[in-house]
Amino acid sequence: MKGFFEQIPRELEESIIIDGGSRWTIYRHIILPLSKPALATFAIFAFSGTWDEFFTALTLIKTPIKRTLPIAIRMFQGQFATKWGLVFAASLIAVIPIILIFIIFQKYFIRGGIQEGALKG
């Protein structure tokens, strides 16, 4: 995110200040619209990392009823080691929320940049 924000030209911010805008105006009209693809990517990675978390949940959660889905799939795999079709079906169910999050946020990736044509030269 830091690298993305550093790539935004300062001239865009200066143009808002020359027109009498405040820092809030710069954030609302320049920074936020330009950062939608980066924020959508961050949201997908954050959700995916939290949803698929395995080692910390395995270490901290000792109650079988409170275990997360990846741990349940691993326990299911150990219980029915030869029924790979059931393990793959459970894995597919675990991937569905991540695919849905990607579908929801994909519209932010396809847009052309609002920055195109904003500066001369």
Q: What does the pLDDT look like over 61-95, one tens digit per residue?
A: 888 888 888 888 887 776 555 677 888 888 898 89
**Residues near 102 by beta carbon (within 8 Å), at least 6 away in sequence:** 44
120 pLDDT exceeds 70?
no
**Mean pLDDT to the nearest integer, 39-47:** 86
The ranges assigned to domains in the chain are: 1-34, 36-112
What's the whole-model pTM score?
0.65
CA pair distance 115, 112, nearest whole angstrom: 8
Confidence at residue 8, expressed as pLDDT on a 0 to 100 scale: 81
Confidence at residue 96, expressed as pLDDT on a 0 to 100 scale: 92
